[in-house]
């Protein structure tokens, strides 16, 4: 295994450099944009998201959560954490959704991928930190790499499940009208499967957020770093503030993504 990893490091050095630069550009762009945004604007955005996708009370509650994180003095750490999670989620979706679609259309590929996904989900998350450090060194990029491995399986599995679960009668009707596979995928299967795919997006996002504290062990900045510092210092107050801030973010992300899935489901029922 060590020889294999050394071979990958030497033969695919350019590929890993490209991944490093791409991830750096994405995370720096997101973090810069979030930090450039005035605090009240960000809170207003959270309020509008909560109001539109859930309720007025939810919008007010989520705004209070974000305001409290700011009063803890963890505003910049929160933005860094959001940037890391968003980067990992974006890359996970770009990779995971096409793989899930491929698995839905190919039983052979699905048979090969399922044990790999099982291993990715059951492997202790700390193990992912080792190859991440080896290929990318310490820092946020290693955190994204480790988070990617941990958070990728849900969106792949649920995308495959969603595509396979589309009503066969609808597919047969499309075939009878001469629709190609690409047309059926784009106009029928993906719209029908979108609520379930959004559930996969929700799970991937929550798992990415769950890796925040673990990723701090490889130099990832943000709220997870503050939790790690509080453990080293046995600082109960800092640990509570950083921990409850992660909980606040988890609640907001979970409720908003579920709200998006519910909106899509209602829209699909109305269109039907």
Say what the pLDDT of residue 68 is. Answer: 93
Structure tokens at 155: 């969106």
Mean pLDDT along residues 224-251: 87
Q: Delimit the domains of the chain by residue range.
A: 2-36+72-271
Say what the pLDDT of residue 43 is. Answer: 92
- The Cα 22–Cα 20 span in angstroms is 6
pLDDT of 269 above 60: no
Mean pLDDT along residues 58-85: 90
Q: Is 141 exposed, middle or buried (0-12, 13-18, 19+ CB in 10 A)?
A: buried
Tell me: the pLDDT tens digits for 86-117? 888 888 888 888 888 888 888 888 888 888 88
Global pTM value: 0.83
Mean pLDDT along residues 187-200: 79
Say what the pLDDT of residue 272 is. Answer: 55
Tell me: the pLDDT tens digits for 132-170? 777 777 777 888 888 888 888 888 888 888 888 777 777
Say what the pLDDT of residue 67 is. Answer: 93
Mean of the per-residue pLDDT values for the chain? 82
Pairwise pLDDT comparison (31 vs 261), residue with the higher score: 31
- The Cα 147–Cα 214 span in angstroms is 9
pLDDT of 47 above 90: yes
- Tokens 């958070």 found at: 151
Domain 2-36+72-271: homologous superfamily in CATH: MetI-like (1.10.3720.10)
């Amino acid at each position: 295994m060590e020889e294999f990893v050394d071979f990958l490091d030497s033969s695919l050095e350019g590929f890993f450099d490209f991944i490093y630069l791409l991830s750096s550009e994405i995370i720096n762009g997101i973090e810069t944009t979030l930090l450039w945004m005035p605090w009240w604007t960000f809170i207003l955005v959270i309020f509008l998201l909560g109001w539109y996708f859930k309720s007025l009370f939810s919008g007010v509650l989520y705004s209070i959560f974000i305001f409290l994180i700011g009063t803890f003095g963890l505003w910049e750490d929160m933005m860094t954490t959001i940037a890391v999670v968003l980067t990992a989620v974006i890359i996970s979706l770009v990779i995971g959704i096409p793989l899930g679609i491929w698995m839905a259309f190919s039983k052979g590929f699905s048979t090969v991928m399922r044990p790999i996904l099982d291993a990715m989900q059951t492997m202790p998350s700390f193990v992912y930190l080792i190859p991440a450090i080896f290929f990318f060194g310490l820092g946020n990029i290693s955190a994204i790499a480790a988070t990617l491995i941990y958070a990728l399986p849900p969106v792949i599995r649920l995308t495959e499940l969603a595509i396979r679960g589309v009503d066969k009668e609808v597919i047969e009707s499309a075939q009878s009208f001469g629709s190609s596979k690409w047309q059926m995928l784009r106009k029928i299967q993906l719209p029908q499967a979108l609520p379930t795919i959004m559930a996969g997006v929700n799970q991937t996002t929550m798992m990415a957020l769950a890796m925040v504290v673990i990723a701090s062990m490889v130099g990832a900045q943000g709220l997870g770093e503050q939790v790690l510092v509080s453990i080293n210092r046995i600082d109960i107050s800092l640990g509570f503030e950083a921990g409850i801030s992660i909980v606040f973010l988890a609640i907001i992300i979970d409720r908003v993504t579920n709200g998006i899935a519910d909106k899509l489901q209602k829209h699909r029922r109305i269109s039907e």
